[in-house]
Structure 1
Amino acid sequence: MADPSSYRPQPGQVPDSPGVYRFRDEHRRVIYVGKAKSLRQRLANYFQDIAGLHPRTATMVTTAASVEWTVVSTEVEALQLEYSWIKEYDPRFNVKYRDDKSYPSLAVTMNEEYPRVQVMRGPKKKGVRYFGPYAHAWAIRETVDLMLRAFPVRTCSAGVFKRSAQIGRPCLLGYIGKCSAPCVGRVTPEEHRELAEEFCDFMAGRTGTYLSRLEAQMHEAAEEMEYEKAARLRDDIGALRRAMEKNAVVLADATDADLVAVAEDELEAAVQIFHVRGGRVRGQRGWVTDKVEAVDTAGLVEHALQQLYGEEAGEAVPKEVLVPALPEDAPALGQWLAGRRGSQVSLRIPQRGDKKALMETVHRNAQQALALHKTRRAADLTTRSRALEEIAEALGLDSAPLRIECFDISHLQGDDVVASMVVFEDGLARKGEYRRFQIKTFAGQDDVRSMHEVVSRRFRRYLQEKLKTGEWSPGDGAADGADAADAAGGAGQAQDDGRPRRFAYPPQLVVVDGGRPQVAAAQRALDELGIDDVAVCGLAKRLEEVWLPGEDDPVVLPRTSEGLYLLQRVRDEAHRFAIQYQRSKRGRRLKAGPLDEVPGLGETRKQALVKHFGSVKKLRQATIDQICEVPGIGRKTAETVAAALARAVPAAPAVNTATGEIMEEETPAPAGTSSERGTDR
């Protein structure tokens, strides 16, 4: 690992002008390429205290062994040179989008004597007109099949074309009228090229003029009593309209635009692009990338535009490019796009109307693409096995942790403190074994004490299960005063298949959401209970570092590690489950309203009252006898409730501070039965 100060440029060496810089490693390989308005200011950011750098940036500068730069005259030149160097050197620390699949395009080979319509994948070729890309090849073939009736352009391969010319007979498409059969001389090369150009114009969105011309020809043929020709033209128009209906109008005024949306998390990002031509969505594509450098949404957009238009020119670059965030050098990027197109390009964020609505649709597609990518990654058995092996190796475990339990604490400014426990077995979530905890011993924002309590309670249950089966006795090392009552509520009961209901199986690894303090608290809880065969680690959210008990420095897993990815999934699931429970508790408390002021009325009976009557408003209207009908409510309690509600003056609706929702008294209480199942109280 190199010290950045060993290759830091001397003061005054770096010019204060636009340029492109390259970091090289000890083997002279380029590992990062960047551009800057001011090389001096940008490079100075890399040579500050490493502790203040983003972890990914710190990794890059400690991997590098030298830096060099090239001065250019404008920011646009810097953008062009950066793109060229990234393509040439393929630096490991630059964001590189990879297609989640190979997208097919509809291609017309205008560079041939007899242009051919076909499905094409891969790099684009000079002299070929492309439309798309499309999500599926069959969508292209359906469109072409409908349009060949009106535009009988050649679709056959070179071999079929040559053989038909040799034998003097066209192929089947020539006989059924879906090919003009230039192979046997039915049309001249000039006439066939004109057909191909009309086909391209129609696909490019210039449909109105051509359809109007066909309708005029149809009416003219009908007036001249050429009914067969009129019927053929009518069928051609119908086929073209059906082809147009496959792409509904999404933007008015025949807009040509590309919409780019980004969905991201800490490690990965998904980009989706919708190609709109003539107001219709003509193609869609998407990429998924690893965030190997410290980059925000604007930076991801800039990299996406570079990759999208780096090899494009002319009409392939639309008049408008709509993005979720403008890159830092948006004016220079706009000039670069204008240079690729040959005319002005508008690069902006849609603010309202149809374009904003369509951008939201593109963003939803990006979110789904990222979720699908993660699902496929998590579902792969080989990947999961590798992730567990990497975790075992990084943490020094004897074997792969087949069962992982993760704990997280959630509260709102010290109120409604709860915890969650999620379970992953063989790298997959076991939602049926998730548990939720209410923190009992204190209230406040002390996550360390809360973590100690919840881990203690979980493993006391485990010891209680072993006590019931005779596998453990109190003298085997548990701390004095272990709360045996914590195992009440059927902890030792078995299900129909003989499997214990709760906490019977210990994990090989306990993961806590937090850093060194939370890890120490969890380890202390296990030590107090005499449990020494369960490993503990913590995943700190900000830097994604793995902390081990008693260690001064964290374990830093490679950002491409499947083990780190699995730990993040476990941690994020525990966080989601804890937040969900905390919000539900807060929501139920807000809905109870005046019942909070009734002395001696606990949470369970409050919920029973609200559930029985449907709302506090209806409960206020009930008689004492009706209140007594609620299970667990005696007459004295009913009188206290009625008196308290009679004194209470209906106030303004309570507001859930987490969601901003107005929680009115009339809001029906949720069915508490299913939501409370699996809760450790």
Structure 2
Amino acid sequence: MANPASYRPKTGEIPTNPGVYRFRDPHGRVIYVGKAKSLRSRLNSYFANPAGLLPKTYAMVHAASSVEWTVVGSELESLQLEYTWIKEFKPRFNVVFRDDKTYPYLAVTLSEKYPRVQVMRGDKRKGTRYFGPYTAGAIRETMDTLLRVFPVRSCSAGVFKRAEASGRPCLLGYIDKCSAPCVGRISPEDHRALADDFCAFMGGEAKRFINKLEKKMAAAVSRLDYEQAARIRDDITALRKVFERNAVVLAEETDADVFALHEDELEAAVQVFHVRGGRIRGQRGWVVEKVEDFTTPDLVEHLLQQVYGEDGDTHGRLPREVLVPVVPSNVDELAQWLGGIRGAKVDIRVPQRGDKAALMSTVRENAEHALKLHKTRRAGDLTVRSLALQELQEALDLPVPLLRIECFDISHVQGTNVVASMVVVEDGLPKKSDYRKFSITGPAAVDDTAAMHDVLTRRFRHYLQDKSAQVDEDVLEAGTAEAAAEAAADAAAAAAVADTTTPAPKGKFAYPPNLVVVDGGKPQVNAAARALTDLGIDDVYVVGLAKRLEEVWLPDSDFPVILPRTSQGLYLLQRIRDEAHRFAISFHRQKRGKAMTVSALDGVPGLGASKRKALLSHFGSVKSVKAATAEELAQAKGIGPALAGAIVSHFAADGPGAVTVPAVNMTTGEIIET
């Protein structure tokens, strides 16, 4: 743990301009990003009296080993740069609004040739229109009801291709809940128009479609076509069911997001109601841990910054009005920034009276209940995780807290397709963005110990390379700063330097673990420890967890450490080991499945993998390729007359009684080409 005084910059060196600053840890990783109207005033507040800081801010300044800053021209620029760096570096100590639930969205993939309606969690895909968020039960019922009136494709790409190749639609096509574009029942243009109507209805134009259907029903009755009139009547009933599910709370032309929060000294809960067309279309919640002594306006500013920062490609989800409990900091710059994202003016304001103020009160009540529920659940979760890490540290007699643990596992079948996995746990929670997969070939694939030595060597060689690159950058940066200081004629020239830093290394393995866990006993542990010793690394500890009796092995130890069966530390090791095993098995099956796929096209001379793929894409199946003439084969991409003739000759040589091997996935036994 570093002493903040060891890296505190001199007061005179810090400019008074607005800017953005970054704290880095000893490994060069950015752990906090902030902005300030006056960099000197804000940074001095971290070092004046560290003992008086909030607990998490205190932990941050002691975990850091350096601080850097960048001067910008205005507060709007600082807002944009702060957001960009938070998204790029994902600092662990920044305010992060975490969903208290994972809400699903009703999505329409408008970027595809045949748009698809589906349920998605998250909203980060380009070219997709999102509606919601909804609760899990409501979204399925809504989707099932609307497909009756708007039979847009809802099947996966695999189901669509199989139906297209076979010429038969899936079940939804037979029961009229899909217009079956896969078999040509509807043209691409008409299907897209159907998807646009679906989006228009979900976007608040329900009355237009209901009125249109009522006119059609009246026309059918006038023609005495009562069966058609009955079907239209049922469609109207279905649309009204969806339309009336949400009560009207505001005027029909109102599009707004209503935010409210409830906070204490350490945490805050946020709730938002999404109002579209005067109706509540969705609800969402976040819980945030306070890092600095944030005021409520500061929290609201960070909330809007993170919620709407990625909405540039989400088809106008950002509404005309954003209703907040208090006016956020830098409200003018924030409104200008959001207006640029939406492409039109965004009004950020606090409702004072009327229906909007009443709805704000309801949202605030939801936030209060959410914080109470979060604290009740989190108390037990934090206690268990902290106990597990403490028990493990004490049982292994380690001098450092286990902030980061990495676990490695080897997977193969009788020495073939050898792979390894690396899973990462930080603060007792999985960090899946840092998971890694390794393919092992050559001498290292002989046995598990050689494979483990190879994987650990590769992982930590990358770490040393990233560390060396960062040291070189720091030396270069220091040299550049010294030369600039010598060349500066006065203080004004020094203040003109806008950015005094270089970006953090983007290496995949730049951050080392405190503890390495290997799946295995004494041989695997010794192999892992030997790999670290060969690289000169002595500050990373290694243990192994043997499956048979769940013994914990230490390097060069003749006897294992036996943890009690009820130990939370043992449970943590088991969960990490099982996760590494799952990840390795998944990768191994994927690799083995690709290697053991047999195709009837493999034996054709001159037909490589890319041309086989082109043939199957053009004809849809091996059977169609066999039935094609040389002229038809030559129409496929990359297939010339000579190769087309060779393909025809190859299948003709089989003869009518020859046995043809279908394309089979040998892992699952599934025929993948027919």
Q: The TM-score by the shorter chain falls in which range?
A: 0.5 to 0.7
Q: Deviations over 1:251-276 (max 9, x none)?
A: 21331111222222233222222211
Give 3-state SS (helix, strand or coil) of 2:13's partner.
coil
| Match of residue 342 from structure 1 | 343
| Match of residue 294 from structure 2 | 295
TM-score norm. by structure 2 comes to 0.54
Distance in 1 (CA, whole Å) between partners of 2:380 and 2:50 is 37
Q: Which structure is richer in relative contact order (CA contacts within 8 A, separation 6 or more)?
A: 2
CA 1:229/1:381 → structure 2, altered by over 3 Å: closer, same or farther? same
Distance in 2 (CA, whole Å) between partners of 1:32 and 1:284 is 30
Which amino acid in structure 2 is aligned with residue 126 of structure 1? K
Which amino acid in structure 2 is aligned with residue 69 of structure 1? W
Q: Deviations over 1:470-520 (max 9, x none)?
A: xxxxxxxxxxxxxxxxxxxxxxxxxxxxxxxxxxxxxxxxxxxxxxxxxxx
| Match of residue 446 from structure 2 | none
Structure 1 residue 249, shift from structure 2 partner: 1.3
Give 3-state SS (helix, strand or coil) of 2:358's partner.
helix
Conservation of the 8 A alpha-carbon contact between 2:206 and 2:239: no
| Match of residue 374 from structure 2 | 373
Give 3-state SS (helix, strand or coil) of 1:259's partner.
strand
Distance in 1 (CA, whole Å) between partners of 2:168 and 2:158 is 14
CA 1:144/1:30 → structure 2, altered by over 3 Å: closer, same or farther? same
Structure 1 residue 384, shift from structure 2 partner: 9.1
Structure 1 residue 62, shift from structure 2 partner: 4.0
Which amino acid in structure 2 is aligned with residue 383 of structure 1? V
Which amino acid in structure 2 is aligned with residue 24 of structure 1? R
| Match of residue 322 from structure 1 | 323
Conservation of the 8 A alpha-carbon contact between 1:377 and 1:383: no
| Match of residue 521 from structure 1 | none
| Match of residue 194 from structure 2 | 195
Structure 1 residue 342, shift from structure 2 partner: 0.9
**1:261-660 alignment runs, 5 A limit:** 261-313=260-312, 314-378=315-379, 383=384, 386=387
Give 3-state SS (helix, strand or coil) of 2:193's partner.
helix
Distance in 2 (CA, whole Å) between partners of 1:46 and 1:291 is 15
Distance in 1 (CA, whole Å) between partners of 2:206 and 2:96 is 38
Distance in 1 (CA, whole Å) between partners of 2:383 and 2:62 is 32
| Match of residue 211 from structure 2 | 212
Conservation of the 8 A alpha-carbon contact between 1:259 and 1:321: yes
Structure 1 residue 368, shift from structure 2 partner: 1.7
Give 3-state SS (helix, strand or coil) of 2:370's partner.
helix
Conservation of the 8 A alpha-carbon contact between 1:135 and 1:285: no
More off after superposition, 95-104 vs 330-339 = 95-104
Which amino acid in structure 1 is aligned with residue 252 of structure 2? D
CA 1:57/1:169 → structure 2, altered by over 3 Å: closer, same or farther? closer
**1:46-125 alignment runs, 5 A limit:** 46-50=46-50, 53-125=53-125
| Match of residue 547 from structure 1 | none
| Match of residue 229 from structure 2 | 230
Which amino acid in structure 1 is aligned with residue 373 of structure 2? L
Structure 1 residue 106, shift from structure 2 partner: 0.5
Q: Deviations over 1:223-253 (max 9, x none)?
A: 3333333322222111101011112112213
Conservation of the 8 A alpha-carbon contact between 1:23 and 1:67: yes
Give 3-state SS (helix, strand or coil) of 1:134's partner.
coil
Distance in 2 (CA, whole Å) between partners of 1:22 and 1:68 is 5
Structure 1 residue 105, shift from structure 2 partner: 0.7
| Match of residue 169 from structure 2 | 170
Which amino acid in structure 2 is aligned with residue 233 of structure 1? I
Q: Deviations over 1:1-23 (max 9, x none)?
A: 54545444444433333221112
Distance in 1 (CA, whole Å) between partners of 2:208 and 2:73 is 46
Distance in 1 (CA, whole Å) between partners of 2:74 and 2:254 is 31
CA 1:165/1:62 → structure 2, altered by over 3 Å: closer, same or farther? closer
Q: Deviations over 1:542-579 (max 9, x none)?
A: xxxxxxxxxxxxxxxxxxxx9xxxxxxxxxxxxxxxxx
CA 1:223/1:93 → structure 2, altered by over 3 Å: closer, same or farther? same
Distance in 2 (CA, whole Å) between partners of 1:122 and 1:185 is 32
CA 1:228/1:273 → structure 2, altered by over 3 Å: closer, same or farther? same
Conservation of the 8 A alpha-carbon contact between 1:134 and 1:284: yes
Q: Deviations over 1:615-635 (max 9, x none)?
A: xxxxxxxxxxxxxxxxxxxxx
CA 1:183/1:375 → structure 2, altered by over 3 Å: closer, same or farther? same
Q: Percent identity?
A: 65
Which amino acid in structure 2 is aligned with residue 158 of structure 1? A
Distance in 2 (CA, whole Å) between partners of 1:285 and 1:143 is 18
Distance in 2 (CA, whole Å) between partners of 1:199 and 1:364 is 33
Distance in 1 (CA, whole Å) between partners of 2:254 and 2:347 is 12
Q: Deviations over 1:293-314 (max 9, x none)?
A: 3223222222222221121125
Give 3-state SS (helix, strand or coil) of 1:148's partner.
helix
Which amino acid in structure 2 is aligned with residue 357 of structure 1? A
Conservation of the 8 A alpha-carbon contact between 1:18 and 1:38: yes
Distance in 2 (CA, whole Å) between partners of 1:167 and 1:328 is 60
| Match of residue 432 from structure 2 | none
Structure 1 residue 39, shift from structure 2 partner: 2.3
Structure 1 residue 118, shift from structure 2 partner: 0.7
Please tell me whether residue 242 in structure 1 is matched to residue 241 in structure 2.
Answer: yes
Conservation of the 8 A alpha-carbon contact between 1:19 and 1:36: yes
Give 3-state SS (helix, strand or coil) of 1:219's partner.
helix
Unaligned runs of 5+ in 2: 395-567, 569-674
CA 1:242/1:21 → structure 2, altered by over 3 Å: closer, same or farther? same
Distance in 1 (CA, whole Å) between partners of 2:388 and 2:168 is 61
Which amino acid in structure 1 is aligned with residue 318 of structure 2? V
Structure 1 residue 116, shift from structure 2 partner: 0.9
Which amino acid in structure 1 is aligned with residue 344 of structure 2? S
Distance in 1 (CA, whole Å) between partners of 2:382 and 2:73 is 52
Q: CA RMSD in A?
A: 2.7
Distance in 2 (CA, whole Å) between partners of 1:381 and 1:25 is 24
Structure 1 residue 160, shift from structure 2 partner: 2.2
Please tell me whether residue 139 in structure 1 is matched to residue 138 in structure 2.
Answer: yes
Distance in 2 (CA, whole Å) between partners of 1:271 and 1:381 is 21
Distance in 2 (CA, whole Å) between partners of 1:144 and 1:51 is 55
Distance in 1 (CA, whole Å) between partners of 2:385 and 2:336 is 46
Conservation of the 8 A alpha-carbon contact between 2:252 and 2:279: no
Structure 1 residue 198, shift from structure 2 partner: 0.5
CA 1:128/1:269 → structure 2, altered by over 3 Å: closer, same or farther? same
Choose 1 or 2 for highest CA Rg: 1
CA 1:166/1:198 → structure 2, altered by over 3 Å: closer, same or farther? same
Distance in 2 (CA, whole Å) between partners of 1:222 and 1:260 is 48
CA 1:186/1:56 → structure 2, altered by over 3 Å: closer, same or farther? closer
Conservation of the 8 A alpha-carbon contact between 1:56 and 1:294: no
Structure 1 residue 187, shift from structure 2 partner: 1.1
More off after superposition, 1-10 vs 150-159 = 1-10
Give 3-state SS (helix, strand or coil) of 1:274's partner.
strand
